[in-house]
Chains A and B, each alone.
Chain A
Amino acid sequence: MDSQIYLKNVSTLEYDSSLCIGCKMCVEVCPHNVFRMVDKKSEIIDRDKCMECGACEINCSPGALKVKQGVGCAAAVISGFFKGTEPNCDCGTNTNCC
């Protein structure tokens, strides 16, 4: 079992290969090797490795990749729940956070 795989079938990553221009940026920025190049087009190898960091989407100039960027942090989800905001790392100035 790949110890760097979290839950399966949860990632919001979407890819429209018809828009891909083969620039390889997604391969360059993805910290979990979700992509590879096949015939000058990007291809998703394993969607379950995606941690939704959002690096591929903002570096995909033709907009072929979409992912709902977010922090995979339970403490951020809890504080977001109480503050009524989206989960983010702004745990306040006095607390220890990432």
Chain B
Amino acid sequence: MDFTKLSLVSPTLTSSTWSRADRWGAVRVRSSIGRNHYQLAPGLYKLGKPGSDSDVFVSANYKLSFDILRRELKGLDAWILVLQTYGVNVWCAAGKGTFGTDEIIRQIKDTGLGSYVSHKRLIVPQLGAPGVSAHKVKKSSGFSVKFGPVRAEDIKDYIAAGYKKDELTRSVQFNFKDRILLAPVEVMNSLKYLILALIFFGLLSGIHRGGYSFPLILEEGPIAIIFLLTAYLTGAVFTPALLPWLPFRHFGGKGLIAGFLTSGLMILLIAPGSQAFGMIAWLLISGAVSSFLAMNFTGASTYTGLSGVRKEMRFFVPLQIALTVIGITLLIISKLN
């Protein structure tokens, strides 16, 4: 380990490079594996050889947040004050209040920060601001909070500019790379719904005019699997990836259009000229599935507010339910014909 908790100070620490375990850990949690348990102990850490005038950076105890911070501080001697956020990243923890005013005040006191530094400055990531009231921290602890840049990669420029941000370094982005990095988590998040849907529509494919046939499941089940997987990936991966280029501001609307497009494409590819009711059914169901998953991507996005999400849900949730019910009805009718 190239950092050390203060209570077990080791004078040899110097590097802020990632070990193989750190790199592997980052890949793992980005893939949504063990993401809720990727934590380190809260408290005061030292990076390099910090002195009494070195900066104090505040971070969360989600290990990926901490790792990115220390990597970006390479070459600097600094203190890092890690808050107890129960393994949640800075922004989400700030929204919950765990990355917050009270926790900063508590950690300043518990770690005895004031005995290690002679100044009274804390650099808090800007996305911690929804939980941290700078004037209240100042009042209770004497430390003044400076909100640093949104991204750790901008910290060195921020310091070089005299602890000042510009419009870009205080803006949260949501570019293609950001959205793609979130895709694996989106895919894993709703997996249980996908499995339930696969079982439900698999069983449904056994229905025919003469009653019910299990061999028919093997014959027609794959069609259900193809459409459901397509709709699932459309809502959880393609729609997030293509977010700014899809029509509508509503995520549910973006997902609906994308779901219609990809399922329409599937119809042309695998089943041109097949039973019309069945194909319309899959078009509607795919639209609903994709719309629902895209709507859930509001939680991962960096610019949707609660009032807006509520507004879009009042329209799109009933629509998704209606499309699903009509779709299932048409599917059954097509099988009984």
Contacts and interface: CB of A to CB of B under 8 A. Distances in A.
Interface of A: 3-8, 10-12, 25, 27-33, 49-55, 58-59, 61, 68-77, 87-90, 93-98
Given A3-B243, A58-B130, A96-B188, A68 B300 contact: no
B96 interface: yes
A3 B250 contact: no
Interface of B: 32, 35-36, 88-89, 91-92, 94-96, 101, 126-127, 129-135, 147, 150, 165, 167, 170-172, 174, 185, 188-189, 243-244, 249-251, 295-296, 298-313
Query: Chain A interface mostly helix, strand, loop or mixed?
Result: loop
Given A6-B305, A72-B299, A72-B308, A96 B174 contact: no
A4 B244 CA distance: 8
Contacts of B309: 72-74, 77
B309 to A, nearest CB: 5
B305 A10 contact: yes
Contacts of B174: 3-4
Contacts of A76: 299
Given A11-B308, A52-B306, A53-B129, 19 more contacts: A3-B244, A4-B174, A6-B303, A7-B249, A11-B305, A28-B165, A31-B302, A32-B171, A33-B170, A51-B304, A53-B94, A53-B305, A58-B132, A59-B129, A70-B305, A73-B306, A89-B92, A89-B96, A96-B36
A19 to B, nearest CB: 14
Given A4-B174, A55-B130, A74-B309, A96 B185 contact: yes
A74 B129 contact: no
Given A53-B130, A71-B299, A89-B96, A5 B170 contact: no
Given A55-B129, A71-B299, A31 B170 contact: yes
B86 to A, nearest CB: 9
Nearest to B294: A74
A98 B307 contact: no
A30 B127 CA distance: 9
24 contacts: A3-B243, A4-B303, A5-B303, A6-B304, A7-B249, A8-B249, A10-B307, A29-B147, A30-B170, A31-B170, A51-B303, A52-B307, A58-B129, A58-B131, A58-B132, A59-B129, A59-B132, A59-B133, A70-B306, A70-B307, A73-B309, A77-B306, A89-B88, A95-B189
B312 A75 contact: no
Contact of A74 (B130, B185, B295): B295
Contacts of A28: 126, 129, 147, 165, 170
A8, A58, A70, A88, most chain B CB atoms within 10 A:
A58
A88 to B, nearest CB: 7
Nearest to A55: B129
